Structure 1
Amino acid sequence: MINLNVLLWVTLGTLGSCAEVTVVINGTVVDCRGSPCACCNGGVKRCNWEEYCDAGCVDTIWGYRCKNICYGNCYTCQQEFGIPCNECKNTFYDASSNCNESCSVGCNNGSCFDDGTCSQCTENFEGVKCETCNQGKYGSNCSNDCLHQNCRCTNGTNCDSCKAGFYGRTTYCQSPCSAGCQNGECNDDASCTCRQGFVGSLCMECITGHYGEECDTRCSGGCSDSMCLRNGTCNQCRPGYYGEQCNNICASGCSDGICKRNGACTCRLKYTGSHCDSCEKGRYGVNCKHECSVGCITSSCGKDNGFCNCLPNFNGKQCLLCTDGFYGTSCQLHCFDKCINKACSMSDGKCTFGCMDGFTSDNCTAHCHADCRACAQHDPLICTSCFNEFSGTNCKCPPNCNCASGSDICLSCNNTYMYHDKQCKCHAQKCCIDQGCNECINAKYFSYKNSCCECPNSCKDGLCSSGHSCQNGCEDLFYGSFCSLKCTDIDNKCFKCAQVDGSCLRCTEGYFPNVNGTCMKCLLSCKENACDPDNGRCSKGCKDGLWGIHCTETCNLLCKTCDRMNGDCIDCVHPVLYGPICNLSCSSSCISSKCNDDGECLNGCSDGYTGVKCDTVQKTSEDVRSSAGMVVVWVVVGISATLVTLVIIKRRHIAIKVIGEVRSAIKNGRSKTDINNVYEDIDDVTGDPSHNQEYEMTQTSTEGVERRSCQYSNTTLRQCY
């Protein structure tokens, strides 16, 4: 290319026999033949002693002394001979022909490369040499428009050839070549060389197994033989597939996994819907094998995950859990109150996080051993924490003691406490009045070997007179001179006992002290078997047919229930009876023969009778017939009442006999087995189904314990002396 820093021009003239060669160097016109080395590249100073330009000549000049002009339109040439041409002047090309070829007028700035190609074309020109008018243009400057835009024309109306990418010159090139033609070009008959992926004479078809505009997309694997149309539509689907392109898999609910082209099929068990893609109502999951939770508001739930909205007391995304405090298949049961956080297993109510202090068992309904503040959930005897600083797995080891494992035997003391034989409750400095601990600060301590020892907890109010006796007696549950024995060691149902001999004075609920000083079950004659734990009196009243403080008296044979204190009848065994001993009959003229305790009819009178007791006859023309009817009624009522009364009298005679045996058994201290047999006789008479239960009357040794005898009367269970 031309060096823009040096403006060169050459003037050729004839002056005699010599041609004038001039150039402009750095703005000065220089005659290359006027003086030696005038046109050396770098000036005359680059001319050697032989007058040879050793740096070459300026552009367009050649020769040893740089006096000759390059041939043709050559801009730079070889220094010695002027050939070959190295570079052409602007707007010329082909150095091999001394640049005799002119660049196309379509080249930008008229400049081109040595092969005539242009770096960029001017407007309306195209081609590598920019010598062709753009499609639809013609003229020397390609500024005129052809009538048919897809044609190349020379006069505006003719069609010499088609624009690249179109064919059909006779129809003015209206048809585009197939997208499958190489470079998008085709012959005038539309035939062409196909691109990769295309086949056919016109390259309009895809190779087998492909489709799409570029034929570069594989047919769906669901297509039979993997063949499809240009748009991807399969001719036929393989078994188990459906859709236009057979790219959908038949629903898992379709029988044998086969469906029609639209996806419809015959459903397997547990599936529903035209495409068998839904679970039957109430089911979800893979193969619809899971059932929606009973906790869902409706029987339906999420097809894939079983999620649903929950009924009250249910929780969780699938409503499979009970809310805190409930359990059971329908979460309708309350977790037991003693469960920590009231949390329990949905299936069986077992407490999830264990029990509150003092309770044990799976559902925390059982009590820990009395010595334990808290115990293991599986064993009430294994203590996990103790009261009053006691320690050990059974909380038997007293405070400040070191005991053998699982034992309450104090082996040594700690924390500066003394005398393990005194349960380490003695201290040489605490609670002492004088330095020698000969006197203690109050009656809650006693002096022992230069120390003050705490009175035992079993002493009432914590007061003791010495190390050997309690000042105010024993706390409940303890007895003995030093209150060191437990009432429960004699009877585990005993709550309070006599300090001297340990005979029970009060029992736990459902029991009362018997003549032996041990606890026996409340009498079955008590309603709900409930009695006073001190004296056995029935606390909730008597069962039907009995009266008295201990419900050991029998009501009149015709009474169903009677007054507990005086035995007067409250209800009679038959509705036609009334009176304090149910020995009077309601008037047969009373409707349904029902009357109150005074004999007054409750439902009014039969026809023909009047008065509060319906005992006044209204005289009418029908008196005779009515009288006959009443006779029949009286006979029927009399027979019925007689039969009922006989049955009741028989049962009551047996009951009287059995109750007498109960009294005798209690009085004589008979064995548990004998009394249970008597109780079962009562059950047989009264129809009480509880006779299968065990009736306990605890018998313990009375050796070394004061014996007491008791007498029974109608109003008092026992009088002991």
Structure 2
Amino acid sequence: MKTNVHYIILFLVILLRCNCAVRACETGSWGDNCEKKCAANCEGSCDKLNGVCTRCLTRFWDSYCNHSCSVYCNGNCEKVDGKCTSCKSGLWGTLCNKNCIVNCSTCDKNTGTCQSCQSGLWGEFCNKTCGVNCYYCAKSNGYCNYCKNNLWGPSCNNTCNLSCPTCNTYTGHCNYCTTGRWGAFCNNTCDDACRNTCHRFTGYCDKCNNGYWGVFCNNTCSEKCYGCYISSGTCTSCNNGFWGDLCDNKCIGSCSSNACDKNSGKCTSCPMGKWGSYCENVCKKSCSWSCDIRTGECACKVGYWGTDCSSMCNDSNCDVCSQADGSCTKCKPGFWGSSCDFKCKSDTCLQCYIDSGLCSDCRLGRWGSLCKNMCRHGCPCCSISSGACSFSCPDAVDNVDNKSTVREDPAQGIGYITVIISVVTSSVVFVTGVGTFIFIRSRFRQTRHKESANMQGSSSEMSETPSTQTSQSTRNEMCIAVAEHVDTSDDHTYEKISK
């Protein structure tokens, strides 16, 4: 029993020591107790037992990444021996410290054999010149890979077709064609019906002139079509009065402008007062305007409600009710309440609020929530809320026939009549005065004419001087004329003068 205990204790001790030995360190540390730091150029971790770097930072190599890669390396180098993985352009060798031959852009890293030449040269040693019209050519045979100025061929001595903006260097096939041309060399012309655009390789039309369809636009659209699809000939839209893929069906019903849906034949709009797929139904007379073409629903005239306005407002004193449930929203003038069964709270109200009965409009010359207050003297009308005077009085709506009339207060009506009488009287007096003046002036001229004639016949019998006689005679005649005129126009006036 004791022996077994000893073995167990020994096993636990060994296990604890092993755990200590194999316990991993945090990144960047190594050693039995992870007390040492990995080399500065290690990328990440290093071996826990000896500190050897797992990887090196770029451009460093060896076990502890202490050496730099060759400056001629194109990037990194091997961690074990420092050999360049690739070289910069024009260099080769394990450390990329050897130059490629002259005119060689890149050469084999291990042998120095030239792999590509500088632009315009070719051959094993890049000592041969490409054709004059060639941007660059194949290193092995000098055949041109890219030609200048719309040329093609191994030596770029062939010219692309005139309809080719550019062509393939090896075959001369056009890369694309000018408008209205097609084919490998763009030597074919698109059909006239193609509107000058067709497929680059087949010549099939991309678009057709109006009224045609097909790959070569040689088919005619239906005469009732307003345009058709190029691939099938089915109409894009129809002339008024027709519907269907080929617009060969006539619209039925009483559609507005004889127009119906191209696919279903149903009317797209109806004449005023009609509804339905074919405008076969009549809108309710209680609709205020036309109704919905699909459902017949409409906005109601005053006094009606419901989706089709077939129901009358429930209350006799209701002017406008809710179209949804028939509840009153506006009472006739003089009434209030949810059922408009109460009279306004004041007799001087023209209209009152439906929820309170207080006045919303007063008779002319009054103001206040009950229209009990009078506008100040000389003010024709005033604000219902503040009594502030206004000389621009609004029209009211008559309670009986809803005709627009001017609101008048009886007391102010009497004042208006008095003003009118005064104006008429003044006008009559003015006209009478003007007429009298004209009459007197006329008689005065006649009198002077007679006097002049008498003076010529009896100048020796005159007892007074001519000027005195003329003046006296003129005054007498004027008095006689006034008396005669007054006598003929107003007997009472004449009596007053006589007295």
The TM tier, using the shorter chain, reads under 0.3
**TM-score (normalised: structure 2):** 0.27
